[in-house]
Amino acid sequence: MNETERAALTATTPGWTSLPPFAELNMTRSFVSGDDDVDRLQVAAFRRDADGALVGRARFGPGCQGPPGHAHGGSMAALLDEVMGISCWVAGHRVLAKQITIGFKRPLPLLSIVLFQGRVTRVDGNQIHTVGELRLNDVVIAVGEGIFAELRADKLARMFGGA
């Protein structure tokens, strides 16, 4: 990734507050957002000030290839899973995915920088409902819905060291 691409990925947008790379969540080795390998996914996450939603940008490198010249659906699904899950964490819910549904709308060319957003839509006891979306320019590429299970404090401590 060249400096122009890196700048486009991490650019500050008015109304977006930069989020750390989730080091405090022990997610620095996350399959999606914890690796600085430019051959795969590059992710820059922010919190939208107006509503607290998780927003940001992601670049799909050559290591994400599925169909020739395009991102593998699994790489898009993995990003949406992470976006919806982290949106729960940003909203104060410590969760793991229970069920996700992904809908693919358009193929995504490799080396594209997409906008993503995720937000909590409903809380039912320990079940947190979410939605997520990937857009390239103004075109919806993929959407997701998820149900995430909130972790009990003892499980949280074992898995994340008390995050």
SS3 string, the chain, reads CCHHHHHHHHCCCCCEEECCCCHHHCCCCCCCCCCCCCCCEEEEEEEECCCCCEEEEEEECHHHECCCCEECHHHHHHHHHHHHHHHHHHCCCCEEEEEEEEEECCCCECCCEEEEEEEEEEEECCEEEEEEEEEECCEEEEEEEEEEEECCHHHHHHHHCCC
In this prediction, residues 5-33 reach a mean pLDDT of 71
Spatial distance between the Cα atoms of 89 and 52, rounded to a whole number of angstroms: 11
pTM: 0.87
pLDDT at 47 over 80: yes
Q: Which two tokens stand for residue 41?
A: 């996914």
Q: Which amino acid is at 135?
A: R
Give the number of domains in the chain.
Answer: 1
Largest Cα separation within the chain, whole Å, is: 45
- What per-residue string of b and e applies to 130-142 under the rule 16 or more CB within 10 Å gives b? bbbbbbbeeeebb
Task: Give the pLDDT confidence score for residue 49 in this predicted structure.
Answer: 92
Report the Cα 147 to chain-centroid distance in Å.
Answer: 15
Model confidence band, residue 10 (pLDDT cutoffs 50, 70, 90): confident
Q: Which amino acid is at 128?
A: I
In this prediction, residues 100-124 reach a mean pLDDT of 96
Model confidence band, residue 23 (pLDDT cutoffs 50, 70, 90): very low
The label of the residue with tokens 């992710």 reads 43
Q: Which residues span the domain enclosing 76?
A: 3-160
Top-ranked range on mean pLDDT: pick from 9-23, 29-43, 64-78: 64-78
Domain holding 34: CATH number? 3.10.129.10
